[in-house]
Structure 1
Amino acid sequence: PELKVRLHELISKEQVFDLSVVKPSDFVRYGLGCLERLADQGDNCAKDIRANLRIMVAGGDGTVGWVLGCLQELNKSKREPVPPTGIIPLGTGNDLARSFGWGGSFPFGWRSAVKRYLNKAVSASVVHLDSWQAVIRMPEGEITELPHALKKAEPADQLEFSKASGSELTEKASCYKGVFYNYLSIGMDAQVAYGFHHLRDEKPYLAQGPVANKLIYAGYSCTQGWFCTPCTASPQLRGLRNILRLYIKRANCSEWEQIQMPSSVRSIVVLNLDNYASGKHPWGDLKPDYLEKVGS
């Protein structure tokens, strides 16, 4: 609430949206739609605003991904330009914010920091971000609670998935699709994130800030066996290769190639950023002497 009031002071109430009240999809449909209609009617002010509009998202990776996913609809319907998006990092990991120079945490002196974030949003250069579409097929009879990032796949998407995977899709099988911008994970870390998400929904008073959230994450990591395998709550995740098969299709190749996984693998991550799990670098940090050798 205090951040919302501060934003009202710096810009205006009309430009600040509470995502628990106004969904990003509603803003895209009605807010931007209104600007576009006025611009089409000859309103030069509305035309300039629509052309130069920039969006700031105050939240974590999930919130930012939610907004980006809704803005992607502008591309599909050829309603361009798509407004660039900046980030005020309020989440736990903030990997998207880290990767694009918005910082990994919300500063202690936040009142002055908010003004700096808004100034940066005006002057910052635009950098493009890849997006990836994931198509997920669920077993027959499987009932699941869908996150906002996933929706029921259209018949054309289901047919494309069936052709790509080389398997037939039965009528009773459920197929979903979604877009991700940071990473898609299968395994123990996904189990930890899933547990934290449900705990936050059921007991929001426990997740009151980044420090408390990271402590909860650490607890879930132990119970899932990330640090101490014998106490894992899901034994099947200890041997990830026992519950899934991994295939890849290389560029300019028509055949799928199976990847043999070591028994030690506990998680598979499809990574789109240089940051993972609250600023970790999966490949490590290259030493300067290595860069000199490669560059010479």
Structure 2
Amino acid sequence: VGWILSILDELQLSPPPPVAVLPLGTGNDLARTLNWGGGYTDEPVSKILCHVEDGTIVQLDRWNLQVERNPDLPQDELEDGARKLPLSVFNNYFSLGFDAHVTLEFHESREANPEKFNSRFRNKMFYAGAAFTDFLQRSSRDLSKHVKVVCDGTDLTPKIQELKFQCIVFLNIPRYCAGTMPWGNPGDHRDFEPQRHDDGYIEVIGFTMASLAALQVGGHGERLHQCREVTLLTYKSIPMQVDGEPCRLAPSLIRISLRNQANMVQKSKRRTSMPLLNDPHSIPDRLRIRVNRINLQEYEGLHYDKEKLREASIPLGIIVVRGDCDLETCRMYIDRLQEDLQSVTSTTQRVHYQDQESSFPRVLSVQRLSPRWCFLDATSADRFYRIDRSQEHLHFVTEISQDEIFILDPELVMSQQGNFGGVECLSLPSSLPRISDRWNPAVRKRMLSDSGLGKISPHYEVPDKQKDASQTHMLQ
């Protein structure tokens, strides 16, 4: 992306064309910021182009990096290292210290053995291993002793030395390090504003090893400043990285200043794809939707055969949601449905569904949903495809569903005996009823709507005839 934006600078087009991002890298932080997700899965290119066409044009600040040798050090005291940074402009972030050292190790290893770095998963595993090794070796423990940072005339060096930061980040976008949010939400902190990528300010953040680790569980770094200009002096060779491009820079004077703004395409929630939302009066108050579960093996083998994949799916239950519900909210109710199912199976041997649609036997796994489950779009003309979790807030339920939702559970494995993962299964003589069918009063569920969003709470009634015949219960 940076290379494309630099070429557009050279062409001096007026107005410059907007640029959309397809997340094919390892971290994909800019793609996450612009709602394009953390990685490409298998979405049809035609659908991506439709999202590009419907997207919103937003501004992205771009920052100059001017490098010269440190004037405070005589020539004979300058250490070995690069004399310039890999890039002279950054769009995402510029950093020095621990994270740059890990990135540099990754870069050097990939240059030496490119065949070992041919997947996003392997790349992330290497990053994790290199970070752990650096953590033990404390390679950046003395960073604060060898830098001077001045932001809009304010010298931050005393605070950096006091807190002994091992990493300093100059942040332009909210996302960093594969989706974390190092600036966090300042909330009521009057000294700082929420982070933006179009306000002409850059955020300066310091990290100790503890706060770097906390990033992965929702933490943030120490907020130091929001400024328009930065002067950075280094007094030894220090690892640095510019938008993921690392080097070990010799002692230098670096000036950061605003360059320009680029036009970018941000993925938007496509209300035009949901006809019901074009007319507020036609939005249904509630949608009753069947949830079906698919394992990874069957998905990979059958996702181009929609009918066979439907037949292979495992009913999970029924949810009731608002007519304008998005997938992020829908996820909460599917998780609640799973919890309800777990509570049912703790007291019953078998759970049956009544159905008039098909006659082939099916089984329902009581195995818990994996935290990595994702929604499948079943409305594409030719096949199913996965929806990135970071984009769920952009999709309405009705975009991927008419009367049923399909979800992919990568940890659900079916054995030859019809059980899943060694867990007892619940028999289903057939699939669930159509949405338009009336429920049998003997197996009706109660709807709870404490928050205004419908939720089905299991309610069981066992006819007297069945009590004597078997221990089978009816699940609604």
Same fold (TM over 0.5): yes
**Whose relative contact order is higher, 1 or 2, with alpha carbons under 8 Å and at least 6 apart?**
2
Trace 1:1-296 onto structure 2 (pairs within 5 A). Answer: 64-75=1-12, 79-107=13-41, 109-110=42-43, 112=44, 114-138=45-69, 140=75, 142=80, 144=82, 149=87, 178-225=88-135, 228=136, 231-232=137-138, 234=139, 237-250=140-153, 257-260=155-158, 261=160, 262-284=162-184
What is the one-letter code of the residue matched to 1:135? Q
Q: Could you tell me how far apart the structure 2 residues matched to 1:146 and 1:245 are?
A: 18
Q: Could you tell me how far apart the structure 2 residues matched to 1:276 and 1:116 are?
A: 27
**Aligned residues: percent identity?**
34
Q: Is the 8 A contact 2:69 2:83 kept in 1?
A: no
Q: CA RMSD in A?
A: 2.7
Structure with higher strand content: 2
| Superposition deviation, residue 145 in structure 1 | 8.0
| Superposition deviation, residue 285 in structure 1 | 5.4
What is the one-letter code of the residue matched to 2:165? V
Structure with higher helix content: 1
Q: Could you tell me how far apart the structure 2 residues matched to 1:95 and 1:217 are?
A: 16
Alpha-carbon spacing, 1:148–1:244, altered in 2? closer, same or farther (3 Å): closer
* Aligned length, in residue pairs: 181
Partner SS, residue 170 of structure 2: strand
Alpha-carbon spacing, 1:213–1:145, altered in 2? closer, same or farther (3 Å): farther
What is the one-letter code of the residue matched to 1:208? N
| Superposition deviation, residue 102 in structure 1 | 0.7
| Superposition deviation, residue 187 in structure 1 | 0.6
| Superposition deviation, residue 84 in structure 1 | 0.9
Partner SS, residue 104 of structure 2: helix
| Superposition deviation, residue 143 in structure 1 | 5.6
Q: Is the 8 A contact 1:240 1:263 kept in 2?
A: no
What is the one-letter code of the residue matched to 1:275? R
Partner SS, residue 125 of structure 2: helix
Alpha-carbon spacing, 1:279–1:179, altered in 2? closer, same or farther (3 Å): same
Q: Could you tell me how far apart the structure 2 residues matched to 1:284 and 1:146 are?
A: 31
1:215-269 CA-to-partner distances (Å, cap 9, x unmatched) read 01011111222xx3xx24x3xx11211111122225xxxxx53432134311100
Give the corresponding residue for 2:421.
Answer: none
Alpha-carbon spacing, 1:280–1:218, altered in 2? closer, same or farther (3 Å): same
Give the corresponding residue for 2:265.
Answer: none
Q: Could you tell me how far apart the structure 1 residues matched to 2:85 and 2:148 are?
A: 24
Q: Could you tell me how far apart the structure 2 residues matched to 1:147 and 1:115 are?
A: 38
Partner SS, residue 20 of structure 2: strand
Q: Could you tell me how far apart the structure 1 residues matched to 2:84 and 2:156 are?
A: 29
Between structure 1 and structure 2, the one with the greater Rg is: 2
1:155-175 CA-to-partner distances (Å, cap 9, x unmatched) read xxxxxxxxxxxxxxxxxxxxx
What is the TM-score when the length of structure 2 is the normalising length?
0.35
Q: Is the 8 A contact 2:65 2:90 kept in 1?
A: yes
What is the one-letter code of the residue matched to 1:82? P
Ranges in structure 2 where 5+ consecutive residues have no aligned partner: 190-476
Q: Could you tell me how far apart the structure 2 residues matched to 1:219 and 1:120 are?
A: 36
What is the one-letter code of the residue matched to 1:209? S
1:160-214 CA-to-partner distances (Å, cap 9, x unmatched) read xxxxxxxxxxxxxxxxxx1100000011101111111122122111111111110
Ranges in structure 1 where 5+ consecutive residues have no aligned partner: 1-63, 150-177, 251-255, 291-296
Alpha-carbon spacing, 1:281–1:209, altered in 2? closer, same or farther (3 Å): same
What is the one-letter code of the residue matched to 1:71? L
Question: Which 4+ residue blocks in structure 1 deviate beyond 6 angstroms?
Answer: none
| Superposition deviation, residue 72 in structure 1 | 2.0
Alpha-carbon spacing, 1:224–1:137, altered in 2? closer, same or farther (3 Å): farther
